[in-house]
Amino acid sequence: MSFALPDGLPPGRFVTCGPELVWVSDEFPDDVERLWPRLLSEQPVHGLVPLLCRPGALGSPLALDHIDAIRLEEELATDFAEYRRRRLPFWTDPTPESVPEGIEPWPHDPGPPFEQWPGLAPQVPAVSAPPTSEEAAATRLLDRLMETGPFGLEECCLVLVPARRSSDALALIGWSAEAPLPLLCALLRSWEDRFGAQVVAAVGSELHVSVARPPAEAEHANLLALEHVLSTADNIVDDPPTPFPEYAARLVGRTSWSFWWD
């Protein structure tokens, strides 16, 4: 059974995704920069989350009760203990790793400044004003993606997913790309609540997220950076090698986050 669609969409079709039905454009919309802000503003009316992703990214949907079952703080505390156990020898040894001649040695990473799980980064209060900060941040990220890539964006389609929030939409289309989807979606839900995060594009194994209310203090950015690390994304501090303090510093005021899994 289909659902009502907003006006002014490009040619497209309904596609079955497990037990769910989504709408997918036939190709990348030429006027997506005009269409996107309107779809975001009409989301409360139509109940449809817009995403940009490749049609092949539609996989086996994840039931939302799997996300509901995640005890986020407990799981992250366990994951951090294991992560710290594995990485501590490298954090405490400043000796540069050997690299081929002519290659700059990787910078030493002292790791996060925590011995135990420090808790989640605090919420940044929302400010209600039309357009909402979430809509504005998502539109800015879309504009940036249109200007600079990423590779393969032109192969994406516009997907409309009946969902309450963009993190749930990601679960309902079954996007994975080697990411731990239940944990990732639980993190995205929490980031949406605390920072106004919205998934904008899933391009291959890359995930691009807009952020309406990023942390403004270095202490809070350290906490958030640890959450990013525990998402298991390969580009966080590992590729390219980036010392944890440097990665955390970049999150202060940053209105877009990118993750990828190899």
Q: For the chain, how many structural domains are there in total?
A: 1
DSSP secondary-structure letter at 211? Answer: E
211, 254 contact by CB (below 8 A): yes
Tell me the pLDDT tens digit for each residue of 38-62.
Answer: 999 999 899 999 999 988 888 889 9
For the ranges 16-20, 33-37, 110-114, 250-254, the lowest mean pLDDT is seen at: 16-20
Residues in contact with 97: Cβ distance below 8 Å, sequence separation at least 6, in sequence order:
105, 106
pLDDT reading at 105 higher than 80: no
Cα–Cα distances in angstroms (integers) from residue 261 to residues 8, 58, 190, 222, in the given order: 35, 17, 20, 22
| pLDDT over 90, % of the chain | 66
Residue 87, in any domain of the structure: no
| Mean pLDDT to the nearest integer, 123-138 | 77
Give me 149's structure tokens.
């890539």
Predicted confidence at residue 144, as pLDDT, reads: 87
Using DSSP, state whether 65 is helix, strand or coil.
helix
Average pLDDT value for the chain: 91
CA distance 109 to 246: 9
Positive/negative CA dihedral, 228, 234, 237, 239:
negative
Give the pLDDT band of residue 1 (cuts 50, 70, 90).
Answer: low
Residue 77 located in a structural domain: no
Lowest mean pLDDT across 93-102, 174-183, 226-235: 93-102
- 237 domain residue, yes or no: yes
Please state the three-class secondary structure of 119-174 as a single string: CCCCCCCCCCCCCCHHHHHHHHHHHHHHHHCCCCHHHCEEEEEECCCHHHHHHHCC
In this predicted model, which residue has the larger pLDDT, 76 or 205? 76
Q: What is the pLDDT of residues 186-202, one digit of tens each?
A: 999 999 999 999 999 99
Query: Is residue 91 situated within a structural domain?
Result: no
Residue 80 lies in a domain: no
Position 176 pLDDT exceeds 80: no
pLDDT at 20 over 90: no
Residue 212's nearest CA partner among 258, 149, 254 is: 254
The answer to whether residue 102 sits within a structural domain is: no
List the domain range (segments joined by +) for residue 164.
12-69+118-260
Q: Is residue 75 part of a domain?
A: no
Give domain status of residue 86, yes or no: no
pLDDT band at 137 (very low <50, low <70, confident <90, very high): confident
What confidence score (pLDDT) does residue 131 get?
59
DSSP element (H, E) containing 218: helix 218-229
